[in-house]
Structure 1
Amino acid sequence: MKAFPLHLMRHGAPQLAGRLLGHLDAPPEADGIALCVERARGLDFARVVTSDLARARAPGEVIAAERGVGHGVDSRWRELYFGRWEGADPATLPSADLARFWDDPDGFPPPEGESWTDLCGRIRDGLGDLGEPVLVICHAGAMRAALAVLCNFDVRQGWAVDLPYGAVLSLRVWPGEQPSVQITGLMP
């Protein structure tokens, strides 16, 4: 199959930045949308796919309209679901529980939350529907899960990738049962 460029962009700053937002639909800040629009200007893509959460969807709508390309919304690109930790400031959570989660998100997922394996499964399914030059605007967890699926990154390798708001990770993907990937750029 033919290789295609895949650009993964983390949404810009949302309201309540710094909290474990997960599936909470915190609206984006205006400067967060502007950052995403600016970062997209130099990228090659034929369509935009976004998480259904406003902090990713809103910049995607603006970028797609500016570029004159299609925009699809796909809930599989949501952030990890943090369960009872949704919306929490990490500083207010029991530090031992949070440390166990960061060290082993499969063995110690957030209370009533999603496991790392489940997030990777959602992202694997979402990646399977791509196949043309595309910009996916999503969340840091979803981007790290894509690296796990496409590049076989383990949890520690994924956490080591710095993905501030508006970060862009560019890849060239050769689809198939075992996709091949080349990382072509990271714009923090």
Structure 2
Amino acid sequence: MVLSRPTIYFIRHGETDWNLEGRLQGQKDIPLNDLGRVQAEEAGRRLKDIAPHCEDLAYVASPMRRTRETMEILRAAIGLHPQSYRLDERLIELTFGSWEGMTWKEVRKAEPQLAALRERDKWNYVPPGGGESYAMLTDRIRPVLDYLTRDTVIVAHGGVARAFLAICCGVSSRQAASMDIWQGRVLVIEGRNHRWV
């Protein structure tokens, strides 16, 4: 186990129309909307401000379209070749199973008992239809973190950020499952500490 990890500059993908509508995206491949593209550019500018030698960082993204678009826009915004980054399948968002495409309001109306079970333990709850819990996601992404060898920009998803905060910073699973993960900002994880820029 690595005792001290390199610094992680985590960026959640920019907004999509499904984010705007409050729909569960999970592993559905939804593109950025216009605001999402602006947020990606903004994240690039913030990154350049806090990491002036950003050309020396490693860059890794989830293979989803919204994360690749975000990565390519932010790299272009800081003067780097848009496509020069690595994809890692393990960084894909958790899946909400048969709930994907629904809003939470629709989930609570269609399956009130299951929605209530999830509210009681968001971290460990596995949605129906092949869903994935935050605990399962954490097991999937832990190896990504264990093998980072240099300061790295990671563009991924809200669920992945929550799992990172639990693994790297010791945020409790209850707190991590409910944290806001901002679009257009940079979550800097240094050692056991984290801050938003």
TM-score range, shorter chain: 0.7 to 0.9
State the TM-score, normalized to the length of structure 1.
0.84
- Asked if 1:79 corresponds to 2:93, the answer is yes
Q: Give the secondary-structure state (helix, strand or coil) at the position aligned to 1:13.
A: coil
Higher strand share: 1
How far has the Cα of 1:40 moved from its partner? Answer: 2.2
In structure 2, the residue matched to 1:104 is: 121
In structure 2, the residue matched to 1:14 is: 16
Higher helix share: 2
**Rounded Cα–Cα distance in structure 2 between residues aligned with 1:159 and 1:81:** 15
**Rounded Cα–Cα distance in structure 2 between residues aligned with 1:58 and 1:125:** 24
How far has the Cα of 1:142 moved from its partner? Answer: 0.5
What are the ranges of 5 or more consecutive residues in structure 2 without an aligned counterpart? none
Please list the CA deviations of residues 75-127 of structure 1 after superposition, one character each: whole Å capped at 9, or x if unmatched.
21111111111111111112332232133245531002112221001221221
**Rounded Cα–Cα distance in structure 1 between residues aligned with 2:4 and 2:162:** 24
RMSD: 2.1
Distance 1:33 1:128, change over 3 A: farther
**More deviation in 140-149 or 43-52?**
43-52
Please list the CA deviations of residues 16-60 of structure 1 after superposition, one character each: whole Å capped at 9, or x if unmatched.
221110000001113212212212223224132111111111110
Is the 8 Å Cα contact of residues 8 and 153 (structure 2) preserved in structure 1?
A: yes
Q: Give the secondary-structure state (helix, strand or coil) at the position aligned to 2:46.
A: coil
Is the 8 Å Cα contact of residues 7 and 171 (structure 1) preserved in structure 2?
A: yes
Q: What does 1:118-133 align with in structure 2 at a 5 Å threshold?
A: 118-133=136-151
**Rounded Cα–Cα distance in structure 2 between residues aligned with 1:38 and 1:32:** 10
Q: Give the secondary-structure state (helix, strand or coil) at the position aligned to 2:18.
A: coil
Distance 1:102 1:8, change over 3 A: farther
Please list the CA deviations of residues 143-163 of structure 1 after superposition, one character each: whole Å capped at 9, or x if unmatched.
000011112222221134221
In structure 1, the residue matched to 2:161 is: 143
- Asked if 1:68 corresponds to 2:86, the answer is no
Distance 1:19 1:72, change over 3 A: same
In structure 1, the residue matched to 2:65 is: 54
Q: How many residues align?
A: 179
State the TM-score, normalized to the length of structure 2.
0.81
Q: What is the letter of the counterpart of residue 68 of structure 2?
A: R
Q: What is the letter of the counterpart of residue 34 of structure 2?
A: A
* Identity level (%): 30
How far has the Cα of 1:68 moved from its partner? Answer: 2.0
In structure 2, the residue matched to 1:170 is: 188
**Rounded Cα–Cα distance in structure 1 between residues aligned with 2:60 and 2:124:** 31
Is the 8 Å Cα contact of residues 40 and 73 (structure 2) preserved in structure 1?
A: no
